[in-house]
Structure 1
Amino acid sequence: MRAVFAFVLLLCSLTSLADEQARLYQAGGWPAQRENFSAALAAAQLRYRDSLPPGVYQALVDNSNRRFAPQAMDQRAQATLRAQLADPQPALQFFESPLGRKIIAAETLATRRDQLAAHANGLPRSEASATRRLLIRHLAQALPAQEAGTEVSMALAGVAADSLSQMLPGLLGGGQTEALMQGQREQLMTQIGNNLDDTLLYVYRELSDPELEEFVSFAQSPAGQAYYQAALAALRSGLAVSGR
């Protein structure tokens, strides 16, 4: 009887943990961000339509739609987040708070297709006090925003290279594709890093200084770092990034 009781308690705790993981996935804005990514993918596909032969273009569309199928992306990302983050409760509590919801709303707005198009030539300059800029610098150091931005950009760019290699074998052989992509990755990391503070200033412009300070405290905390490292791994899984 004791063994049965213990087994029931274990099942209940596992069910509760699964529920918290599912809530965190929603509260963290993952479904909305995946929808924004799908919109960006559709826009990227259209940009190639008039510059590629029909067969190559169709291969690009087929490859990208298969790799970035929404349900598969969600499943991969959720599975990795669940595996990497043992205790979702601290992050869940933060992102379900009024401040957490405000942060997620700001991040989701920033990656919407219309916002990306509006700021394709650069973001408006944000005026900020020395104190606010210091808070943003601490936030930039705590968040994996540079890595995440690079992964998303590289995933979109990589589809074209994969499709060309598939349609024209040997075009970029001998490791040329990997070398080109690695060079582009390094350039993107540098570019994003150089503009990161100004980007975060704009994205979180609606947060007050005390709210921004609270966000920094969470991001720097052990619980915050555990979440963001798991989130980066989940992002890479969702994007089907291999070898990283």
Structure 2
Amino acid sequence: MRRPFSLLVLMICALPVWADNLDQLYKVAGWPDQRAHFTDALSAAQQRYRSSLPPAVFQALVDNSNQRFQAQAIDRRALAQLRATLSDSSPALTFFQSPLGRKIVAAELMATRKDQLAKNAQGLPKIQASDDRLLLIGHLAQALPAREAGAEVSLAIAGVAADSLSSMLPGLFGGGQAQGMLDGQRQRLMQQIGADLNNTLLYVYRELSDTELEEFATFAESPEGQAYYQAAVAAVRAGLAVGQNGADLR
């Protein structure tokens, strides 16, 4: 009986460490900061609707989006999905705690700040790069789920208006119709993002040296990196509640 009891004690003791690792990873990899940047983009999107919608519809949009994208709710849903899909958070935590990992996160956070988004609203500048650097960026473009994550963010913001209309006019979108529209939009957005993805990555990671890009690509292409990034896309979708009816989130 001693060995099973000892194993049980070890498992119980390990659980808080695993949970702490995941919470650390969530913070170190920049998730709370990216969520704050998403909130800034959401506020800007809300204001764009103000002049084109009747006051009652606009207020419904604001109320629904504020409820859907409440900060703690996003974090709770995203963390729960990470726990469900990422079996071992240690490799990703080790990478993002490294000097290179912190540099990567800083570059990504810089790119999504509201002032930077406003600055590049008409498109990113064309980045010139050597053949070797273009090859490294190509590897990153294949390994990182930038198309998928970008599409989920865009769908989340676009879905606020549809959700608001649906709440005021129940039955406006049938379940199958809504899912079909969502899937079609997702594919179109991924194609749009993919068309200029290499230049986007060249711009975002412009401060990384070729050696750092190679190390980043090596992690992203590794089984551990792929496990993290696949879990990350699922967590983005869960956190932003893409495709979920607003009533189900109350």
TM-score by length of 1: 0.94
Identify the residue that residue 234 of structure 2 maps to in structure 1.
Answer: 233
Q: Deviations over 1:54-88 (max 9, x none)?
A: 11111111111111110010011011111211111
8 A Cα contact 2:159 2:242, kept in partner: no
Count of matched residue pairs: 243
- Distance change (3 Å), C-alpha of 1:7 and 1:185: closer
Structure 2: gaps (5+ residues):
245-250
Distance (whole Å) between structure 1 residues aligned to residue 77 and residue 174 of structure 2: 30
Identify the residue that residue 187 of structure 2 maps to in structure 1.
Answer: 186
Name the aligned partner's letter for residue 82 of structure 2: L
Identify the residue that residue 158 of structure 2 maps to in structure 1.
Answer: 157
The 5 Å alignment of 1:83-162 reads 83-162=84-163
CA offset at residue 114 of structure 1?
1.0
Secondary structure of the corresponding residue to residue 151 of structure 1: helix
TM-score by length of 2: 0.92
Deviates more, 1:91-100 or 1:162-171: 162-171
CA offset at residue 185 of structure 1?
2.5
Distance (whole Å) between structure 1 residues aligned to residue 187 and residue 16 of structure 2: 42
Identify the residue that residue 39 of structure 2 maps to in structure 1.
Answer: 38
Q: Deviations over 1:101-136 (max 9, x none)?
A: 000000011111111111110001111001101110
Secondary structure of the corresponding residue to residue 121 of structure 2: coil
% identical aligned pairs: 65
Distance (whole Å) between structure 2 residues aligned to residue 82 and residue 33 of structure 1: 19
Secondary structure of the corresponding residue to residue 196 of structure 2: helix
Secondary structure of the corresponding residue to residue 123 of structure 1: coil
Secondary structure of the corresponding residue to residue 120 of structure 1: coil
8 A Cα contact 2:29 2:96, kept in partner: yes
Q: Deviations over 1:161-198 (max 9, x none)?
A: 11122223465568554444443323211110101000
8 A Cα contact 1:147 1:189, kept in partner: yes
Pairing 1:70–2:71 present: yes
CA offset at residue 24 of structure 1?
0.7
Distance (whole Å) between structure 1 residues aligned to residue 183 and residue 84 of structure 2: 28
Name the aligned partner's letter for residue 45 of structure 1: Q
Distance (whole Å) between structure 1 residues aligned to residue 169 and residue 52 of structure 2: 16
Name the aligned partner's letter for residue 230 of structure 1: A
